[in-house]
Amino acid sequence: MCGIVGAVAQRNITPILLEGLKRLEYRGYDSCGVALHVDGALQRSRSTSRVADLEKQVDETGLKGFTGIAHTRWATHGAPASHNAHPHFSPSSDNARIALVHNGIIENHDELRAELTALGYVFQSQTDTEVIAHLVDHMYNGDLFDTVQQAVKRLHGAYAIAVFAREEPHRVVAARQGSPLIVGVGQGENFVASDAMALAGTSDQIIYLEEGDVVDLQLGKVWIVDVNGKSVEREVKTVHAHTGAAELGPYRHYMQKEIFEQPRVIGDTLEGITGVMPELFGDGAYKVFKEIDRVLILACGTSYYAGSTAKYWIESIAKVPVNVEIASEYRYRDSVPDPRTLVVTISQSGETADTLAALKHARALGMEHTLTICNVATSAMVRECKLAYITRAGVEVGVASTKAFTTQLAALFLLALTLAQVNGRLTDEEEAAHLKAMRHLPSAITSVLALEPQIIAWADEFARKENALFLGRGLHYPIALEGALKLKEISYIHAEAYPAGELKHGPLALVTEEMPVVTIAPNDTLIEKLKSNMQEVRARGGQLFVFADVDSRITSGDGVHVIRMPEHYGQLSPILHVVSLQLLAYHSALARGTDVDKPRNLAKSVTVE
Ligand code: G6P
């Protein structure tokens, strides 16, 4: 999703801006651009290809400067075309007085566009961003900081912007409302970015701007005003942001690497846990867990499926009722709030706009007990929640989430145990048995990864199909949903998941010889029911691809293909089964030759609604 980097320095900042864009690349984008102050004029370069292509263009034209901004764009308003790529200039390309980049969505852009068109501005793009550039130009009074403070008052919606003016060569002004933005403080130079990771290696002195802040960046000065225009001091934190993508090593794609990292990162996430303790979720967690009667989980995408799995665990182990809601739905629907609710957000990035907004909505409804399960300790989500459990998946580069998901599951299982303990529902023996099973996860996952050659054989067959069904029951229904999501995200095969008992209520109509039906068959209490559902498929000629637990007594035969899962894993079984589905999606995509790590139209971190 969109990324911003900006700098004011006394050295050529082109490499810093491009390096920053590269660090943000993994989030997904479809075009990119950079603008610099060059000899009293504004110049830019834009590309609808990769940042590497932009870098080549910049090298060829020799674009250099001390003040500038750069952007990766994920199209919302207007196609991914060069004229829609940021930075946007105003009043026009040949006579640029203002350059601006923007993340977010301006909701009143139509109205502003009409107003600015009537004033004589000619729009070069379909973006909502160009509206802000012209608005700043129109309101410009010789002081960019003051102008931006006035201009943002006209904007409705979410934005993080960075802007500079031809008349003020050593100044970048930035502002945020609803989209993240940070400042990197340097020695006689200052930076702005949408994420601290963009500045790794450049500045580790980071200020997290707050909602409504406007910041003035000059060579030796960072001046921030808050939403009321009042001068404010914000804490400067030392942040050792990850230095971006690690090496691929022996793997072809980051997704494959990340699938294979799961034994290690689950081990890291659980490291040092010697017992179930509320404090693992933050100071004061015991008191909070004591005060709640129910749990509300808010998340999007893969994180939502982690929450859906956790519902089964928390209700079964802790006997606490759980509601799981898709964040983008929850934030806009009328719900019945209960202040004795633990609101749990789950997010890999900690930046997802819908999840952040849903959290704020829950708080506005009077639900103050908030916990996040998040992979980025410095993210907005962690800062906004009272309690946090940081998963240690490390940077996840592949857009399709894998290791972040399984570490979320490990953390959520621990939450279920903790709530059970606080409610007096966990005996010492049960605690010891669960912890033992959790500690064994890394080696159990390693055995699942060893199934890769068998899964590759299936994937070759899947790659020729256009549709697939995934079936699961109980705890494994959310895993079927996640398996289908993985397959469609990266292989573009249409995939649907159903609780197996629902098959006869509709999806059975789709089953023919051409329809592969992936079945998750753990040896649990529902196994006999599941076997009946499999018969329903076979009777219609459907091809079954079954991941069966070692002791489930399902065997390969006509139209039934079985891969045997190495061990039966009880309540933690979803964490093992999903790994085989990740491999199936990965190898199907590989066989179809798609861009596995950067699937079309998708972004890693969705910072717009
Ligand atoms: C995007 C990503 C998904 C992710 C979802 C939620 O759609 O492509 O992989 O599951 O956002 O992201 P979060 O960072 O909040 O977990």
Q: Is the pLDDT of residue 529 over 80?
A: yes
Q: Which of 302, 344, 409, 595 to mutate to test the pocket of ligand 1 (most atoms within 8 A of CB)?
A: 302
Nearest residue CA, atom 1 of ligand 1? 604
Q: Is the pLDDT of residue 246 over 80?
A: no
Predicted local distance difference test score (pLDDT) of residue 340: 97
Query: How many angstroms separate the CA atoms of 326 and 58, rounded?
Result: 42
Assigned fold of 248-439: Rossmann fold (3.40.50)
Split at pLDDT 50, 70, 90, the class of 319 is very high
- Catalogue the long-range contacts made by 589-593 (C-beta closer than 8 Å, 24 or more residues apart): 589/490, 589/491, 590/252, 590/253, 590/459, 591/459, 591/460, 591/462, 591/463, 592/463, 592/491, 592/492, 592/493
Is 2 a residue of the active site? Answer: yes
What Rg do the C-alpha atoms of the chain give, in angstroms? 26
Give the model confidence (pLDDT) of 264-279 as tens digits: 899 888 887 889 999 9
Give the model confidence (pLDDT) of 433-466 as tens digits: 999 999 999 999 999 999 999 999 999 999 999 9
Q: Is the pLDDT of residue 596 over 50?
A: yes
Predicted local distance difference test score (pLDDT) of residue 30: 86
CA 599 to the chain's CA centroid: 14
Predicted local distance difference test score (pLDDT) of residue 51: 94
Give the model confidence (pLDDT) of 546-582 as tens digits: 999 887 888 888 889 999 998 888 999 999 999 999 9
CA 63 to the chain's CA centroid: 33
Range in 202-206, 537-541, 588-592 with the lowest mean pLDDT: 537-541
Predicted local distance difference test score (pLDDT) of residue 256: 95
Q: Which residues surround ligand 1 with Cβ inside 6 Å?
A: 300-303, 347-349, 352, 355, 399-401, 602, 604-606
Q: Is the pLDDT of residue 214 over 90?
A: yes
> Where does the chain hold its CATH 3.60.20.10 domain(s)?
3-238
DSSP 284: T
Residue 360 contacts residue 376 (beta carbons within 8 Å) = no
Residue tagged active-site, from 2, 32, 374, 385: 2
Kindly state the percentage of the chain with pLDDT values over 90.
76
Predicted local distance difference test score (pLDDT) of residue 536: 86
Residue 472 CA to ligand 1 center (angstroms) comes to: 22
Neighbour-count burial for 90-107, b at 16+ CB within 10 Å, e otherwise: bbeeeebbbbbbbbbbbe
Please name the residue ranges forming H helices in 368-505.
380-384, 403-422, 428-449, 452-462, 477-491
φ, ψ dihedrals at 471, nearest 5°: -120, 140
Give the model confidence (pLDDT) of 336-364 as tens digits: 999 999 999 999 999 999 999 999 999 99
- On the 0-12 / 13-18 / 19+ scale of CB atoms within 10 A, 344 is buried
Q: Percentage helix, strand, coil, to 5, in the chain?
A: 40, 25, 35
Q: If you search the block for the tokens 């059970």, which residue do you land on?
A: 420
Give the model confidence (pLDDT) of 113-137 as tens digits: 999 999 999 999 999 999 999 999 9
Range in 9-18, 244-253, 309-318 with the lowest mean pLDDT: 244-253
Residue 154 CA to ligand 1 center (angstroms) comes to: 31
Q: Is the pLDDT of residue 247 over 90?
A: no
Kindly state the percentage of the chain with pLDDT values over 70.
99
Query: How many angstroms separate the CA atoms of 23 and 364, rounded?
Result: 35
Q: Which of 26, 74, 303 to mutate to test the pocket of ligand 1 (most atoms within 8 A of CB)?
A: 303
> Where does the chain hold its CATH 3.40.50.10490 domain(s)?
248-439, 441-609
User: What are the tokens at 442?
Assistant: 């890394």
Predicted local distance difference test score (pLDDT) of residue 241: 67
Give whichever of 229-243, 245-259, 556-570 has the largest mean pLDDT: 556-570
Nearest alpha-carbon partner for 91 in 46, 153, 138, 148: 138
Other CB atoms within 10 A of residue 365 CB: 15
The model's pTM is 0.78
Give the model confidence (pLDDT) of 37-53 as tens digits: 999 999 999 999 899 99
Nearest residue CA, atom 7 of ligand 1? 301
Mean pLDDT of the chain: 93
Assigned fold of 441-609: Rossmann fold (3.40.50)
Q: Which of 305, 395, 604 to mutate to test the pocket of ligand 1 (most atoms within 8 A of CB)?
A: 604
Predicted local distance difference test score (pLDDT) of residue 244: 47
Split at pLDDT 50, 70, 90, the class of 76 is confident
Is 604 a residue of the active site? Answer: yes
Residue 376 CA to ligand 1 center (angstroms) comes to: 13
Predicted local distance difference test score (pLDDT) of residue 243: 52
Query: How many angstroms separate the CA atoms of 396 and 67, rounded?
Result: 31
Q: Is the pLDDT of residue 249 over 90?
A: no
Residue 20 contacts residue 202 (beta carbons within 8 Å) = yes
Does the domain at 3-238 match CATH 3.60.20.10? Answer given as: yes
Neighbour-count burial for 430-456, b at 16+ CB within 10 Å, e otherwise: ebeebbeebeebbebbeebbebbeebb
